[in-house]
Amino acid sequence: MADAATAALPPDAQIEDGVAVPRRYWAITTIGLGLGMAVLDTSIANVALPTIARDLSVSAADSIWVVNAYQLAVTVTLLPLAALGEIVGYERIYKVGLVAFTLASLGCASADSLTTLTIARIVQGLGAAGLMSVNMALTRFIYPRRLLGAGVGINATVASVASALGPTIASAILSVANWPALFAVNVPIGIVAMLVARRSLPACPRSHHRFDVVSAILSALTFGLLIIGIDAAGHDQGLLPVAGAFAVMLVSGIALARRQLGQASPLLPIDLLALPVFRLSVIASLFSFAGQTAALVSLPFFFQRALGRSQVETGFLMTPWPLAVAIVAPIAGRLSDRFSAAKMGTAGEAMLAVGLVALAAMPDNVSVVGLSWRMALCGVGFALFNSPNNRTMIAAAPPSRSGGASGMQSTTRLLGQTLGAVAVAVVYGLFPAAGTRPVLLMGAASCVIAAIASITRVR
């Protein structure tokens, strides 16, 4: 009866618990388009760095700023933009993010120097932060609570598949075009997403507290220096830069935490982290993404060095993992509306850990079938964990704090991915002859920690 009543509403009518069909489908479509572009561009430029360095006549070391500028811009502004969304409206932050990301993509595609490309990437990162910081909060107001898991599952599918397929998509584009096409492809997609967003996204409730500029600056310092310090440690840049970054990060982090105490709507969601189910979900997400990223970063080296596969073949061999995520994540999201997310997440992380151990134990002459089922097992496990875990995080927060929960979810994902990538760099740097297997076992151990955090939520 409820579905019939909802269907009888005008297409653009906003209902108290979610928005009506078909507007709901259009709204989640624009969320998926924006989130997919933002996540893809986190890693898609990595593949083109050698070509970019050659075309712009810069060193390989300098070209790294094409990646770092984007990642830093996203990381330092996620929580501030999520907090601002609570005040001005999540839909406004999302729409502005779309405009900035699309225009910056055009700037990246037409850049003729490293300086202009880096500036465009910074703006693109700011736009991506606008998209990623509030997408979960918007999903909460797009879907009725009884179907929230379905919306979260779609988000999880888009983010996971985009993250896993980034290098493959980049290789496919570069096989037929030059590196500016990696950014130019965002422009028509962004225009479509903007047109859909204008008519479909619901107007969300506003909070009446003032935006805390000091906390935003402290947050940017804390998370920015954390990423810089981790990256410097992973690339063995010396004790002084690493220690300096972590020391300043620690001071700014303590100042940020002290400032948040007692605030009704803190920018750093200490109030949400005080909730055991939210805190454990954050811990589980951090270690899960670290384990998955360590595997996805290291496996191409195994495929190309140990198995002798080409870059194109490597892309195909990576496909079973994101394909399994794409199939299972929406189903897991819907199931999380009915079953325990803690138990589903624990089972998923256990499967992911087993899959990573199976990958570490496979012989160098493994068949395509033998490799594919191991990769698919990892994808199924991650999907069973991620969608229910994200639903738990957003549902645990009061509606007025959806922005804080959404920003924390995206921040945790980025930190986990950074830790996983750095772990690969450390292992390959300290033990160059060790190969991929120790990284996979380390990823499995990380997933075991995530499983423990997940099952602890049952209490």
CA distances from 257 to 177, 214, 412 (A): 47, 12, 17
Most confident listed range (257-261, 375-379, 407-411):
375-379
Give residue 122's identity as a one-letter amino acid code: I
Average pLDDT of the residues in 127-155: 88
Could you please report the per-residue DSSP string of 275-322?
SHHHHHHHHHHHHHHHHHHHHHHHHHHIIIIIS---HHHHHHHHTHHH
- Please report the pLDDT score of residue 183 as a whole number: 93
| Average pLDDT of the chain, as a whole number | 85
Average pLDDT of the residues in 248-276: 87
- Please report the pLDDT score of residue 234 as a whole number: 66
- Please report the pLDDT score of residue 14 as a whole number: 41
pTM given for the model: 0.81
Q: Which residue from 42, 106, 107, 47 is spatially nearest to 78, judged by alpha carbons? A: 42
Q: Which residue from 385, 392, 377 is spatially nearest to 451, judged by alpha carbons? A: 385
In whole angstroms, what is the distance from residue 350 CA to residue 444 CA?
A: 9
Is residue 145 very low, low, confident or very high in pLDDT (cuts 50, 70, 90)?
Answer: confident
| 395 three-class SS | helix
Average pLDDT of the residues in 256-266: 83
Is residue 3 very low, low, confident or very high in pLDDT (cuts 50, 70, 90)?
Answer: very low
Is residue 7 very low, low, confident or very high in pLDDT (cuts 50, 70, 90)?
Answer: very low
List, as own/partner pairs, every contact residues 50-58 make where C-beta atoms lie below 8 angstroms and the sequence separation is at least 24, other chains included.
Answer: 51/174, 51/178, 51/179, 52/117, 52/179, 55/178, 55/179, 56/112, 56/113, 56/114, 56/117, 58/114
Choose the weakest-confidence range: 127-131, 246-250, 430-434, 435-439: 430-434
Average pLDDT of the residues in 262-267: 80
Per-residue model confidence as pLDDT tens digits over 321-331 = 888 988 898 89
- Please report the pLDDT score of residue 166 as a whole number: 78
In whole angstroms, what is the distance from residue 298 CA to residue 236 CA?
A: 18
- Please report the pLDDT score of residue 99 as a whole number: 96
- Please report the pLDDT score of residue 424 as a whole number: 82
Choose the weakest-confidence range: 53-57, 161-165, 271-275, 289-293: 161-165
Average pLDDT of the residues in 424-433: 75
Higher pLDDT, 236 or 302: 302
Average pLDDT of the residues in 91-98: 95
